C-alpha cells in the first residue's frame, strides 16, 4: 500500500507542477479572437476580447495577423491540456480520500 501511496504522491506533484507551467504560459498569451472588418472595401483586423462585461476591439492592422492567430490557437490548446491535468488531479484526490483497511 505504501508503494501505491508513493506513486500517487509523485503523480500529484507532477500534475501540480504541470498545471502551474500551463497557467504561466496561458497568462502570457492573448485571449479572444481575431475579427475581420470590411471598411470602404478594405480589410482591417482587430483582436476581440471580453473585459469584464464589455467586448473590446484592439486594432491589429491591415494585414492578417498570423502571429497573433497562432498565439490564440496555442492558448486554446493549452486550455484543453489544462482541463486534462485538472481532471487527473481530481482522480488522484478522489483515490487519496479512500481508506482501505
| Each residue's pLDDT expressed in tens, for the chain with a length of 101 residues | 677 777 888 888 999 999 999 999 999 999 999 999 999 999 999 999 999 999 999 999 998 899 999 999 999 999 999 999 999 999 888 887 765 54
pTM listed for this prediction: 0.75
HSE-CB at 71 with a 13 A cutoff on CA atoms is: 14
pLDDT of residue 8: 81
pLDDT of residue 92: 87
Question: Rounded to whole angstroms, how far apart are CA atoms 20 and 7?
Answer: 20
pLDDT of residue 95: 82
Give the sheet arrangement for strand 54-61, strand by strand.
Answer: 33-39, 42-51, 54-61
Amino acid at each position: 500500500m505504501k508503494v501505491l501511496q508513493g506513486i500517487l504522491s509523485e503523480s500529484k506533484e507532477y500534475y501540480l507542477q504541470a498545471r502551474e507551467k500551463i497557467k504561466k504560459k496561458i497568462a502570457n498569451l492573448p485571449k479572444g479572437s481575431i475579427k475581420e472588418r470590411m471598411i470602404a472595401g478594405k480589410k482591417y483586423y482587430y483582436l476581440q476580447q471580453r473585459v469584464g462585461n464589455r467586448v473590446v476591439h484592439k486594432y491589429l492592422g491591415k494585414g492578417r495577423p498570423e502571429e497573433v492567430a497562432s498565439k490564440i490557437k496555442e492558448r486554446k490548446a493549452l486550455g484543453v491540456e489544462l482541463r486534462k491535468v485538472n481532471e487527473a488531479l481530481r482522480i488522484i484526490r478522489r483515490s487519496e480520500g479512500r481508506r482501505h483497511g
